Structure 1
Amino acid sequence: MELSSNHISYYQILKVSPNASLEEIKKSYRQRLLETHPDKQQSNNSNSTIQLIQLAYKTLSKIESREIYDKSLHDHFIKTGLVNTGNFNGIDIDGLDIIDLSQFNENDNGEFKHNCPRCTSIDSMIINENDLLDNLQNDDISTILVQCLHCSLWIGVTYSMIE
């Protein structure tokens, strides 16, 4: 079993957490079917959506198939450099290099660029101002994760907004 074709997990399709109980999965399954019923939809893709919801429910409602699916989901995360820890949308930050945004070069387009410390590609780590604003926490210091455009390296970049 693998992720759905559009890379959304069955948990996301059913709008439940990975540790949801069978009762929560059943309840959400029924709700999702009602939401996507052809009489309530304007689009023509409701049949494929319903089939995907049914497949997600069939997989997650049985202990054996759910365990197999969870393992394949975990393996997918590992292959893509992610782990399912809940931190930073699944990225494991243990051992992650953290640098300060001041080490990036800013250009006139509101982008901050940095050379990759692993593969040394020039300006291959890019953050734009909108990313910084979208990620801004209420704390004094925020951290955003950035991946190199040329290799699999992720780094954490700390920053704070100055008014």
Structure 2
Amino acid sequence: MANHYEALGLGHRQFDGSLTAQDIKQAYRKALLEHHPDKAQTGDTARSVDSITVAYKTLSEPTAKVDYDRELRLQHARNKGGDKIFHTGLDIVDLDDLDYDDKTGEWWRGCRCGQDRGFIITEDELENESRYGELVTGCKGCSLWLKVLFGVEEDGEQDIQTAS
């Protein structure tokens, strides 16, 4: 499976929770110009327009993006020796172990690599992963991983709760 983030030139941001729909749209347009046979200025048409379009359609649709991101995380985590999941530097924490920023509405935690907010989790990400009760995210500055456990309490409204 071709990496959709790389197809759009966003390979360096594939685990970036702050990637917006506008960022994806701009990357799509840029990738089309760079790789379209009629418009490419460098002659580099290594990526097909079809693969760029499929990547954009997947990453621009929120539900498809969540499913794709989850599968991508699992692919990156798989050990080459089989179906065992292996994370280099995986820490498992509860949601209440993270700091919460009222201004941005994000949970965050520093990483041991020195990145102050290496792990950033949004409420949308938690809601999208609510059926699993866990979210695996990579550090923005290195290859370390964080598995955040949480639960969803339903009292008329959905509220993200920490796991007990």
Place the TM-score, normalised by the shorter chain, in its bin: 0.3 to 0.5
- Give the structure, 1 or 2, with the largest relative contact order (CA under 8 Å, sep 6 or more): 2
TM-score (ref. length: structure 1)? 0.44
TM-score (ref. length: structure 2)? 0.43
Higher helix share: 1
Higher Cα Rg, which structure: 1
